[in-house]
Structure 1
Amino acid sequence: MAYDKELAAAIKAASLAARLCRKVQKALIQSDVRSKSGRHQSPVTVADYGSQALVSFVLQQEFPGEFSLIAEEDSNDLRKDGAGAIVERITELVNDSLTSDGSYNVTLSPEDVLKAIDSGKSEGGSQGRHWVLDPVDGTKGFVRGDQYAVALALLDRGKVVLGVLACPNLPLTSTGVADPQCQNNEVGCLFFAEVGGGTYMQPLDGSFTVKVQVSGVENPEEASFFESYEAAHSMHDLSSLIAQKLGVKAAPIRMDSQVKYGALSRGDGAIYLRFPRNGYREKIWDHAAGSIVVTEAGGVVTDAAGNPLDFSRGKYLDLDTGIVVSNHKLMPLVLNAVRASLEEKSKPLH
């Protein structure tokens, strides 16, 4: 495939970042710390910055001459007075992760780490190649000890050509994958997809790989649907109305982050609905990796009017109202229910 080298590097980078995040979340849960001091002091931020620094470093090592990264974080808060201890902790975690991998015989300084974080300032667009990263997607889930993902994608001339979702807290088993190698107690998996190559799932240690496909459910009454865990992230009342019009009987599966895309790609549910509050602008790093993971597994990802998502316009997605994800059979029915529900809610498409 055309992007095999890039995909291998992305899997490696996301796996290392997931290992770092897992370590931070474990310490967070054990200490029961829920920091309410400044943002740059919170444990989830240690994971956020550490993950971004790791992914940036690995990708720059693999592709030194053609590196462009669109990412969520920068080092401004970490360069303020009083942030020295947290920078040292991030640096320690990054170096521990690199040492555990063994591929890179290097020790990064705090300044190296800050520069790696700051390499994610690309604006993207329709020209050239750009990596797209959400270093910890689902920060509230991370703090709760619940679902989150390291989400990494590659854009080539504005199109998503590969995506990796590392999901440290998602069980390997599901209704959509029955594989004898998947043990019931195993938690932590990684989804990856390359354009034209399908979608695959593996444990975080990469010990085996299985191809996955979206649910083949055709009757909405038999479908289950995903939505955001936090009501502030998506309008649950609208999703409920859409589900009602479809005749969906199952309760919604509420889950943080792009883990929903991964779970849907292997058939855990058949529909994902996301309708943010008015005025919210979707960022590309919240959907780039997840969208290709679903589409290469046989699914469809559109806005509320049925338009494909356009990742060529920089950091933001210009959407019609919301995001709808399903299989090809259900999608026309879901979009009809979306339109009817929006009309009923007096929220015109525009």
Structure 2
Amino acid sequence: MDSPYRRELQVAITAAQTAAHISRQVLSAFRRPGGDGDGDGDGDAATTSAGPLDLVKDDLSPVTVADFAIQAFLVRTLGGAFPSDGFVGEESSSELRTNPGLTSRVLAVLAQCAGAGAGGETPFRDAQDIYDTIDRCVAPQKHSDTNNRTWVFDPIDGTKTFLRGEQYAINIALLEGGRQVLSVVACPLLSPDATAPVNDGHVDPTGRGCILYAVRGHGAFVRPLPGSHDEVQARRLPRHADSVLSPADLHAVTCWARLDSGVDMVHKAVAEQLKVPFPGSDLLGWVLRWVVLAMGAANMTVWVYKRRDRFAKIWDHAGAMLLFEEVGGKITDVHGKDIDLTAGRTLKTNFGFVAAPQSLHHLVLDALHNELKAQGKHELLR
């Protein structure tokens, strides 16, 4: 791809490949017998070398060695290449600082996977170096400044499915002035040739996995995960959403089997009103849902949170949304407002999501409003 972001793209793709390697190594250790995964042993991750599951975050999702190791690695790598840029990531070091055993495992996996020297030393000096690097992602960022460049990371999107050896993603986005300009998403278990329906348990039988990437105005692409950026042939994704002119051609992606934060029956009712097969592709992680929309395995999703005080996190959507926009998709919130990525870590100026082909977005939005009113959920439209 020829674009003004060629260097950023090369660095981010190479970083995503190493991040995927880290995730696979941690997952392999977790799933070994005795690793507190699905193996035969009865080991405890708190005492098993490189076991990923050690803590529970405030939102009750598991925190893993891979989350911390990948975020530290991405900040160190992209910060080294682009030292003036800012960073936003899901993790902070507060959990690590209270758990020396977890910190040791993060250091160990980085030494193993992320450029250790010949003597096996870690690429990070010590625990404090890890903490400081991770916490570059929690410093206040002015995303709306015109000249501000901010990298946004989700080191493991879909932690619960990751721990089961199912679909997960590593999300890397570059924002300029709060505007998505670059996306790189690594999907270590997703086939680059995946077709609908795509569910969490559908793992690439070849073991390759894939990377999707996009630069604003230059299209979206998919390629196998292994191989250098210059050597591997990428496939440009067609602007399939531009050709969808009838509701009969809509295909959904949602989170149905493990739904906890959304208004489940509204999502189903919208699909029924539009005569769209439901649930279609069914995925826990938001980044994977944007990926499936970009790949053409779906072209529509709606999401309404159960409460007005529940908002999306920037790392679940920034960059990954650009993939769908680059194939002709339109994305707004439940009120039809554009998604505001300048609001900070939480997208508090938006509520929920409606994504569809440009020509049909208004029909999907109208169907959603009709269903919310019909089910007496007027408070969610305020």
Q: Match for 1:338: what amino acid?
A: L
* Partners of 1:189 and 1:204 within 8 A in 2: yes
Residues in 1 aligned to 2:254 and 2:282: alpha-carbon distance in whole angstroms: 5
Partner of 1:5: 7
Q: Match for 2:102: what amino acid?
A: I
**1:62-101 equivalent positions in 2, closer than 5 A:** 62-64=81-83, 66-80=84-98, 83-99=99-115
**TM-score using structure 1 length:** 0.88
Q: Please list the CA deviations of residues 28-59 of structure 1 after superposition, one character each: whole Å capped at 9, or x if unmatched.
A: 2334625676438x985101001101101101
Q: Please list the CA deviations of residues 218-255 of structure 1 after superposition, one character each: whole Å capped at 9, or x if unmatched.
A: 33334321112521132221110100110113543210
* Partners of 2:194 and 2:297 within 8 A in 1: yes
Q: 2:135 aligns with which of 103, 110, 118?
A: 118
* Partners of 2:251 and 2:276 within 8 A in 1: yes
Partner of 1:33: 36
Rate the CA distance shift 1:320–1:346 in 2: closer, same or farther, 3 A.
Answer: farther
Say whether 1:151 aligns with 2:178: no
* Partners of 1:304 and 1:335 within 8 A in 2: yes
Q: Match for 2:74: what amino acid?
A: V
**TM-score using structure 2 length:** 0.81
Partner of 2:221: 200
Q: Match for 1:162: what amino acid?
A: L
* Partners of 2:178 and 2:342 within 8 A in 1: yes
Residues in 2 aligned to 1:3 and 1:140: alpha-carbon distance in whole angstroms: 33
Partner of 1:212: 237
2:186 alignment partner, SS class: strand
Q: Report the Cα offset of residue 68 of structure 1.
A: 0.9
Rate the CA distance shift 1:287–1:149 in 2: closer, same or farther, 3 A.
Answer: same
Q: Match for 1:342: what amino acid?
A: L
Q: Match for 2:355: what amino acid?
A: V
Q: Report the Cα offset of residue 72 of structure 1.
A: 1.0
Unaligned runs of at least 5 residues, structure 2: 38-44, 46-52, 197-203
Residues in 2 aligned to 1:347 and 1:43: alpha-carbon distance in whole angstroms: 31
Higher RCO (C-alpha under 8 Å, 6+ residues apart): 1
Residues in 1 aligned to 2:97 and 2:194: alpha-carbon distance in whole angstroms: 43
**1:327-338 equivalent positions in 2, closer than 5 A:** 327-338=357-368
Rate the CA distance shift 1:316–1:344 in 2: closer, same or farther, 3 A.
Answer: same
The CA RMSD over aligned residues, in Å, is: 2.5
Residues in 2 aligned to 1:85 and 1:304: alpha-carbon distance in whole angstroms: 43
Unaligned runs of at least 5 residues, structure 1: 177-182
| Identical amino acids, percent of aligned pairs | 30
Q: Please list the CA deviations of residues 105-153 of structure 1 after superposition, one character each: whole Å capped at 9, or x if unmatched.
A: 9732333222211111133331111111111111111122211111111
Partner of 1:167: 187
Aligned length: 338
* Partners of 1:53 and 1:117 within 8 A in 2: yes
Partner of 1:313: 343
Partner of 2:75: 56
Partner of 1:253: 281
